[in-house]
C-alpha cells in the first residue's frame, strides 16, 4: 500500500492543472453566474386589455411575469447557482493545491460530470418551457405568453443560451481531463 | 461472473490484483451499458405508446373526442430522439466493451479516454431530454395559473402514467451514464497511478 502511494506521487509530480483548465473553469463560473443572475432578476409588468363586459370598452389590467412563477425557471436558477459556486470552489481548491493532490483532482473530475448533468437538465427544462411560452401548444390550449411579455422572454432566452455555453464549457473540461489522463499513460 | 470473481479474489496473490481489477471494471462497464440500452429502449417504447383519446366537453352538453399524443410537444419528440441516440450508442459501445472483455486484456487506454468523452456528451444529451420532458410534464401535472396553462393529467390519466414511467426510466439512463463516466475515469486514473 505504501509503495503504491509513493508511485502515485511520482507520477503526479509533472501534472499540474494547466492554464487551459483554469481559463475554462473561470469561463464556466462567469457564464453560469450571469445566467443565474439574468433569470433571477427577470420580472416584467405590462398591461393587457381585457373585455369584461362586451358593451363596455376593455379595461387595462396590469399583469406581472416573474421567474418564480415557473418551477422550471426556479430549477434553472438553483442549478446555475450551484454550478457557479462549484466552479468557484474548484478554482480555489486547484489554486490552493496547485493541482498536485491526486484525490482532489479525481474528485474534481467526478463533480465536473455531475455539473454537466445538472446544467444540461436545467437548460432542457427551461428551454422546453420557454418554447411553449414562445410558440404555445394548441393541442392542450396552452397559449403563448411571449407576445405579451417580450422583454421577459428575451431575457430567458439569453440566460438559456449562456447556461448552455456554460454546460459546454464543463463538457470541454471533462474532455481535457480525459485527454490528460490518456497522455499520462 | 462478477460474484465468482469476487469470491476468487481473496485466494489470488497480490500480484494478480491489478488484472482482476481491470476485468472487474470491464464487467461492470458492460453491465451498465446493457442497463443503459434496456432503460433507453423501454423509455422510448413507453413514450411512443402513450396515446390516449378522451371525450372532452368543448361546450355545455357537447362532447368531442380529443387525442393526446407524445408528438404534440417538441420536448417529447426531442426526448424520443435523444433516447434513440443513447440506445444506439449503448449498442455500439457495449459491443466494443464486450469484445475487449472477450480478448481479456482490457480496454486500451485510448478507447477508455474516448469513452469518457462520448459518455459525457451522451450524458448531456440524455439529461437535457429528461429535463425538457420533465419540465413539460410537470406543467401538465400541476398546471400554471400565472400563464393560464391548465393541467391535463386529471383528464388523460394513462397518458400521464406513461409519461412518468418513461421519465423515471430516462432518469435511470442518465444515472447509468453518470456511473459509466465515473467508472471510466476511476479505472483510467488507477491505470495511470499504477505506472
Q: Domain limits at B59? A: 2-194
Name every residue whose Cβ is closer than 8 Å to that of residue B13 and which is 6 or more positions away in sequence.
Answer: none
Q: What is the mean pLDDT of residues B81-96?
A: 92
Contact A106 B136 (CB under 8 A): no
Q: Which of A73, A121, A147 to mutate to test the interface with B (most CBs of B within 10 A)?
A: A121
Mean of the per-residue pLDDT values of chain B = 80
Q: Which of A128, A136, A141 to mutate to test the interface with B (most CBs of B within 10 A)?
A: A128
- Mean pLDDT computed over B37-44: 92
* Confidence class for position B34, pLDDT limits 50, 70, 90: very high
User: Structure pTM?
Assistant: 0.82
Count of C-beta atoms within a 10 Å radius of residue B141? 14
pLDDT in tens, B141-185: 888 887 778 888 888 878 888 889 999 999 999 999 999 999 888
Pairing of strands A43-50, A59-66: antiparallel
A76 membership: H or E segment, kind and range: helix A71-97
Q: Residue A66: pLDDT above 70?
A: yes
Is the minimum CB–CB distance between B176 and chain A shorter than 8 Å?
Answer: no
pLDDT of residue A162: 94
Q: Does B120 touch chain A (CB under 8 A)?
A: yes
Model confidence at A13, pLDDT cuts 50, 70, 90, reads very low
CB contact under 8 A, A131 and B125: no
Mean pLDDT, residues A63-78: 87
The distance of B136 to chain A (nearest Cα, Å) reads 6
More confident residue, A100 or B177: B177
Helix, strand, coil distribution of chain B in percent, nearest 5: 75, 10, 15
pLDDT band at B85 (very low <50, low <70, confident <90, very high): very high
Residues 8-47 of chain B whose Cβ lies under 8 A from any Cβ of chain A: none
**Distance between CA atoms of B190 and B2, rounded to whole angstroms?**
19
B110 interaction partners in chain A (CB closer than 8 Å): 182
Is the ipTM higher than 0.90? The answer is: no
Tell me what pLDDT residue B191 has. Answer: 78
Beta-carbon separation of B128 and A120 below 8 A: yes
What tens digit of pLDDT does each residue of A155-168 get? 899 999 999 999 99
Supply B131's cell numbers.
Answer: 429535463
pLDDT of residue B1: 42
Among residues B173, B70, B165, the alpha carbon closest in space to that of B123 is found at B173
Inter-chain CB proximity B135 and A123 less than 8 Å: no
Amino acid at each position: 500500500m505504501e509503495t503504491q502511494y509513493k508511485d502515485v506521487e511520482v507520477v503526479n509530480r509533472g501534472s499540474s492543472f494547466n492554464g487551459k483548465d483554469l481559463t475554462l473553469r473561470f469561463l464556466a463560473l462567469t457564464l453560469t453566474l450571469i445566467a443565474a443572475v439574468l433569470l433571477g432578476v427577470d420580472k416584467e409588468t405590462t398591461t393587457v386589455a381585457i373585455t369584461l363586459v362586451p358593451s363596455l370598452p376593455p379595461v387595462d389590467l396590469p399583469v406581472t411575469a416573474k421567474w418564480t412563477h415557473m418551477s422550471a425557471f426556479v430549477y434553472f436558477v438553483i442549478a446555475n447557482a450551484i454550478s457557479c459556486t462549484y466552479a468557484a470552489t474548484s478554482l480555489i481548491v486547484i489554486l490552493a493545491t496547485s493541482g498536485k493532490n491526486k484525490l482532489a483532482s479525481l474528485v474534481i473530475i467526478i463533480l465536473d460530470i455531475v455539473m454537466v448533468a445538472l446544467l444540461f437538465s436545467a437548460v432542457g427544462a427551461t428551454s422546453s418551457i420557454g418554447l411553449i411560452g414562445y410558440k404555445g401548444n394548441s393541442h392542450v390550449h396552452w397559449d403563448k405568453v411571449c407576445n405579451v411579455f417580450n422583454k421577459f422572454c428575451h431575457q430567458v432566452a439569453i440566460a438559456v443560451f449562456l447556461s448552455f455555453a456554460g454546460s459546454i464549457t464543463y463538457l470541454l473540461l471533462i474532455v481535457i481531463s480525459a485527454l490528460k489522463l490518456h497522455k499520462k499513460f | 461472473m462478477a460474484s465468482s470473481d469476487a469470491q476468487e479474489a481473496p485466494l489470488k496473490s497480490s500480484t494478480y490484483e491489478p488484472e482482476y481489477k481491470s476485468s472487474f471494471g470491464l464487467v461492470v462497464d458492460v453491465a451498465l451499458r446493457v442497463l443503459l440500452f434496456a432503460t433507453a429502449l423501454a423509455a422510448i417504447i413507453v413514450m411512443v405508446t402513450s396515446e390516449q383519446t378522451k371525450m372532452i366537453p368543448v361546450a355545455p352538453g357537447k362532447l368531442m373526442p380529443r387525442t393526446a399524443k407524445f408528438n404534440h410537444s417538441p420536448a417529447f419528440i426531442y426526448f424520443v430522439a435523444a433516447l434513440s441516440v443513447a440506445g444506439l450508442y449503448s449498442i455500439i459501445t457495449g459491443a466494443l466493451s464486450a469484445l475487449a472483455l472477450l480478448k481479456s486484456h482490457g480496454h486500451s487506454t485510448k478507447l477508455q479516454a474516448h469513452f469518457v468523452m462520448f459518455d459525457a456528451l451522451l450524458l448531456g444529451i440524455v439529461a437535457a431530454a429528461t429535463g425538457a420532458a420533465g419540465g413539460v410534464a410537470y406543467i401538465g401535472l400541476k398546471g400554471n395559473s400565472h400563464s393560464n396553462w391548465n393541467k391535463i393529467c386529471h383528464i388523460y390519466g394513462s397518458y400521464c402514467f406513461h409519461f412518468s414511467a418513461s421519465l423515471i426510466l430516462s432518469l435511470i439512463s442518465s444515472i447509468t451514464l453518470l456511473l459509466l463516466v465515473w467508472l471510466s475515469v476511476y479505472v483510467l486514473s488507477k491505470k495511470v497511478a499504477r505506472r
